A and B are shown apart, each in its own frame.
Chain A
Amino acid sequence: MFESLSDRLSGVFDKLKKRGALSESDVSAAMREVRVALLEADVALPVVKDFIKQVSDKAVGHNVLKSVTPGQQVIKIVHDELIAMLGGSADQEPPASSETLSLIGVPPVAVLMVGLQGSGKTTSTAKIAKRLTEKDRKRVLMASLDTRRPAAQEQLQVLGEQIGVKTLPIIKGQMATDIAKRAMDAARLQGFDVVMLDTAGRMHVDAALMAEVVAVRDRVQPVETLLVADALTGQDAVTVAKAFDDQVGITGVVLSRMDGDGRGGAALSMRAVTGKPIRLIGTGEKPDAIEPFHATRIAGRILGMGDVVSLVEKAAETIEAEDAERMAAKMRKGQFDLDDLRSQLRQMKKMGGMKGLMSMLPGIGKLAKGASQLDDKLLGRQEAIICAMTPKERRDVRVLNASRKRRIAAGAGVSIQDVNKLLKMHQQMSGMMKKMSKMGKKGGMRGMPSLPGMGGMGGAAGLPGSMGDLMGGLGGGPQGGGLPPELEALMKKKK
């Protein structure tokens, strides 16, 4: 697995104890690590070089703030520069959905989807069409111009039926340009707003096929020509993006498969070499798994800093607001019974289990190995134990005697030790809750009640030690002190 940039840099700066301005040699040592980190994230080499040069110029002579280490300071500079290069600024939110694509023009306007074979054009076409239909209330017609791959046109047709978007009827043997013209005519007659044209995958070195897509472009005059590219693309990303931009002229990029475990360096490469914005990212196989591009998050991911904001959003989505309110109130009073523990376990499962959570947390390069032994079934077993209890037992653990424990263990199919472990964990957690409520802290807890809970859980006996450190780091501090700035900002906003 990748080492995160912060791990790498802490190695470089360990020797550097003194404070003050960053010297040229400090910076160049750090930049070597940045270079490797970016290359491992599949950022294209020419882009890496430009980037390093820019950052070095900024970093040399930069004063190290009192409260941070030189390593952290460099990461901040790198991170900010990366965000700027990806086309965002640290505090700027992405545009609203209707602004991700510019569809200004006399309807019907055409959106042309181009890209290599297997980059995800057809799936992205359907996802965008669904988004435009549902979020932007547009009338969308989809048409496949892929006359080459077997059953490509049928694929779009089936997808159209699944998502409830009209597709142009298939006429076998028609040429791509003719299909495009037919789609535009049909859309004009039937009053559609947008025509999504899915094209055949083609190699950018294939002159004949590139000429075909240019002919289509000239025919329909698209308002948007989107290059669909695989987020897992390596060094070739610059060549592909440049070739498509030079030959066809793209207006933006759609990055597919951002839900993979690649670091997404292709995003930076393509943005840097074409200057065209990344409009949308594909984040899953379901037809609504497409999102606007967030420069901040991708920057963190490229640097291996995790995707904390997505984690918090996912948490916010999963946790029912009322549930959270109720639990926060209980926690403030220092009450935390097994019903509450169960709902926390369920939330964690919903959020993709331990591994899902880990993958989004920053600084887990080393811990990722521990994660592979981490058993998501543990959550299920713990839930089963609680389910095997009577409501009375769940409300008050003090009634649990040996005989009751035996019954619960048998009911949940675990050993009595497992039951005891769970009880101990609950005890530790409720102890922590009490402590926290006494401290009367502000912020943190109210906005995001489940995260401190996880912090408590991490320290508990039921989980491996490495997780304990990790979870403790996330939410353990009563002030939410270990949280990155984005997270804190978000929590403030939520409340």
Chain B
Amino acid sequence: MTEQKKSWFRRLTEGLKRSTGALSGGIGDIFTKRRLDDAALEELEDLLITSDLGVSVASKLTQFLARERFGKEISAEDVRGVLAGYLTEILAPVAKPLAIDPAHCPHVILMAGVNGAGKTTTIGKLAQQFRDQGKSVMLAAGDTFRAAAVEQLQVWGERTGCPVVTTRLGGDAAGLAFEAMTRAKAENVDVLMIDTAGRLQNRTELMEELAKIVRVIRKQDETAPHDALIVLDASTGQNAINQVKVFSEVAQLTGIVMTKLDGSARGGVLVAAAEQFGLPIHAVGVGEGVEDLRPFDAEIFARTLVGLEVEDAA
């Protein structure tokens, strides 16, 4: 157990470390034995902006720091500690792992997001994880628009041993969702995951289509979808806020998954999203392997975001 736990902490931090190298290096440069003055605060704000925290969150954080420690000698380590504490405070309430309620039969998860965020891959990884927990899983290939999106999900279905409900290219996604709901009920599966086509949130007609998918699912089960997740790409900038906002309005999101945190993007926009919407952040993707989709941990994320070592999981 300890062995396993250690390895996932390491995985997450390894992924995030690459993301945070530049930021933490920057903080170190500014605060190695320096008085916290206006210039230092401005540099700090700049560094936070570079990790996509956004102008308003970045200035809020620096103001917070100014109130606490202005004019005092402060080491880089201290700055990081204070910042990490503040970020953890923002993020902790929204760090909730994805939980399957066995009372639901099936537990329906709807995946939404803009094109190329990683919806299908995330479904594949989740499917494997649910299978490993001994659950029966069904997948619905609701991306009827993109070429070979159905085939992509079918490959995941074969890998994880899950049946995949499909329709033809250009078919009706809502109709497919309905059929998937019927089949999942009849076959008594534990979890049904419905993939959707990527759509930009300013495309009204595509958002209408998503709303229709949700309506159709509710016709079969009023409580479904039990989880409506948006998948955010870590490299996305401030537009991610708008994505969460509009998708929430249309599909009543219940949570966020952030992918591609294994690059140099730091996903700081999650902080702004957490502040503004309070939506649970369920998981982060830190690599291409199935085990690289990890539950979101506020403290680890916050500490790695400001470049602090994460203590070994004890």
Contact = CB atoms under 8 A, between A and B. Distances in A.
Most buried by A among B117, B124, B263: B263
A261 B116 contact: no
A234 B114 contact: no
Given A116-B263, A150-B152, A150-B155, A205 B238 contact: no
Contacts of B263: 116, 203-205, 236, 240
Contacts of A262: 237-239, 242
B52 A236 contact: yes
Interface in A152-180: 152, 154-159, 162
Contact of B238 (A148, A152, A234, A257): A234
A22 interface: no
Most buried by B among A39, A151, A263, A355: A151
B148 A158 contact: yes
Contacts of B235: 116, 230, 233-234, 236-237, 240
Contacts of A376: 204
Most buried by A among B55, B116, B152, B234: B116
B147 A158 contact: yes
B234 to A, nearest CB: 8
A282 to B, nearest CB: 10
A23 B134 CA distance: 71
Nearest to A234: B237
Contacts of A260: 114, 200-202, 239
Given A120-B115, A150-B156, A260-B200, A162 B147 contact: yes
A100 interface: no
A259 interface: yes
A152 B51 contact: no
Nearest to A115: B116
Nearest to A372: B249
Nearest to A238: B50
Interface in A172-205: 203-205
A117 interface: yes
A239 interface: yes
A234 B52 contact: yes
Contact of A39 (B55, B115, B152, B240): B55
A233 B146 contact: no
A233 B236 contact: yes
Interface in A231-257: 232-237, 239-240, 243, 256-257
Interface string B1-20: 00000000000000000100
Contacts of A116: 235, 260, 263
B15 to A, nearest CB: 10
Contacts of B54: 40
A375 interface: no
Contacts of B288: 148
B115 A235 contact: no
B147 A155 contact: yes
Interface string B128-163: 000000000000000001111101101110000000
Nearest to B117: A118
B200 A259 contact: yes
Contacts of B242: 261-262
A150 B151 contact: yes
B265 interface: yes
Contact of B151 (A44, A154, A256): A154
Nearest to B119: A118
Contacts of B124: 150
A205 B260 contact: no
Nearest to B265: A236
B190 interface: no
A101 B124 CA distance: 37
B264 interface: yes
Contacts of A152: 148, 152
Contact of A232 (B237, B260, B262): B237
Nearest to A1: B242
A203 B262 contact: yes
Most buried by A among B118, B145, B152: B152
B256 interface: no
Contacts of B262: 203, 205
Contacts of B92: none
A235 B146 CA distance: 28
A151 B204 CA distance: 29
A437 interface: no
Contacts of A235: 49-52, 237, 265
B148 to A, nearest CB: 4
Most buried by A among B152, B236, B260: B236
B195 interface: no
Nearest to B46: A45
A42 interface: yes
B72 to A, nearest CB: 26
Given A151-B155, A152-B148, A235-B50, A257 B260 contact: no
A285 interface: yes
Given A42-B238, A233-B236, A257-B114, A285 B155 contact: no
Interface string A335-362: 0000000000000000001010001000
A355 B202 CA distance: 10
Contacts of A265: 237
Interface string B49-77: 11110110000000000000000000000
* Interface pairs A-B: 3 shortest CB-CB: A234-B237, A118-B116, A150-B155
Interface of B: 18, 22, 46, 49-52, 54-55, 114-118, 121, 124, 145-149, 151-152, 154-156, 169, 200-204, 233-240, 242, 260, 262-266, 269, 288
Interface of A: 36, 39-42, 44-45, 116-120, 123, 148-152, 154-159, 162, 203-205, 230, 232-237, 239-240, 243, 256-257, 259-263, 265-266, 285, 353, 355, 359, 376
9 contacts: A149-B121, A150-B155, A233-B235, A234-B265, A236-B235, A259-B202, A261-B242, A285-B115, A355-B204
